[in-house]
């Protein structure tokens, strides 16, 4: 059974739990004491020199970075639907994985790190980047149901958590109805699970 070094409150850990739940992949959850910095100490720092979670282990394979883990899980246990292998379709999905790694991480994720966890960072810049990416998402999702394809892919799973948690970073989603409808569509997927701050029943908390 694959193993996830996990923090319940991490949106990056959650996206791995969510994809595994949707694909019915059993997962051994190993809670990491984040506040004590367990991920920055031995033995975890030896497994992942970046000092971050999630870490995903499947047999001898150890992976870091939530987006890369989604790629692995989708390719190994999912169908072509969740991560297409055709050049154009694959690149379209990867574009949005990069948005999760960059614009969403430096926007709503950073704003939440500041507000909820007291991490010191430039909250003004994080809010500004959040508004920018939420506007781009709203514009994009006004004309399509899913980010990358005509069906849900790991692009949606990668991008949704920190957007749905934006309120915990002092941001409002009300001005973004297409984004809210997209989150609701993801919540309606069979097997969907929530996390603290992302209710599985469609409520916002």
Residues 49-68 that bind a copy of itself (CB under 8 A): 49-50, 61, 63-65, 67-68
How far is the CA of 131 from the CAs of 29, 94, 124, in angstroms? 34, 22, 11
**Residue with smaller CB distance to a copy of itself, 129 or 187:** 129
Q: What's the closest the beta carbon of residue 163 comes to a copy of itself, in angstroms?
A: 16
**Residue with smaller CB distance to a copy of itself, 139 or 199:** 139
DSSP string, 135-159: HHHHHHHTS-SSSSSSS--HHHHHH
Residue 136 binding a copy of itself, by CB under 8 A: yes
How far is the CA of 147 from the CAs of 9, 70, 133, 155, 157, in angstroms? 24, 15, 13, 6, 10
The residue from 79, 102, 144, 199 that contacts a copy of itself (CB under 8 A) is 102
Q: Counting beta carbons within 10 angstroms of the beta carbon of residue 123, is it exposed (0 to 12), middle (13 to 18) or buried (19 or more)?
A: middle
**What values do phi and psi take at 10, rounded to 5?**
-85, 125
Site string for a copy of itself, 82-101 (x = CB under 8 A): ---xxxx-xxx-xx-xxx-x
Residue 75 binding a copy of itself, by CB under 8 A: yes
Distance (Å, whole) CA 66 – CA 26: 17
Q: What's the closest the beta carbon of residue 24 comes to a copy of itself, in angstroms?
A: 17
The residue from 3, 116, 140, 167 that contacts a copy of itself (CB under 8 A) is 140
Question: Which parts of this chain interact with a copy of itself (CB under 8 A)?
Answer: 49-50, 61, 63-65, 67-69, 71-72, 75-76, 85-88, 90-92, 94-95, 97-99, 101-103, 105-106, 122, 136, 139-140
């Amino acid at each position: 059974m694959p193993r996830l070094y996990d923090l319940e409150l991490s949106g990056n850990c959650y996206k791995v739990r969510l994809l595994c739940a949707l694909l019915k992949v059993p997962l051994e959850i190993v809670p990491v004491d984040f506040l004590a910095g367990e991920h920055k100490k031995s033995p975890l720092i030896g497994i992942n020199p970046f000092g971050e979670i999630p870490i995903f282990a499947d047999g001898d394979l150890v992976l870091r970075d939530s987006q890369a883990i989604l790629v692995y899980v989708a390719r190994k246990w999912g169908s072509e639907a969740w991560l297409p292998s055709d050049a154009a379709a694959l690149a379209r999905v990867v574009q949005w994985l990069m948005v999760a790694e960059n614009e969403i991480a430096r926007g709503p994720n950073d704003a939440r790190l500041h507000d909820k966890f007291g991490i010191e960072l430039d909250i003004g810049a994080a809010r500004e980047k959040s508004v920018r990416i939420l506007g781009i998402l709203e514009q994009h999702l006004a004309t399509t149901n899913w980010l990358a394809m005509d069906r849900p892919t790991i692009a949606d799973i990668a991008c949704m958590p920190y957007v749905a948690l934006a309120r915990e970073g002092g941001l409002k989603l009300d001005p973004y109805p297409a984004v809210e409808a997209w989150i609701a569509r993801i919540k309606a997927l069979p097997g969907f699970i929530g996390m603290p701050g992302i209710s599985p029943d469609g409520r916002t908390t």
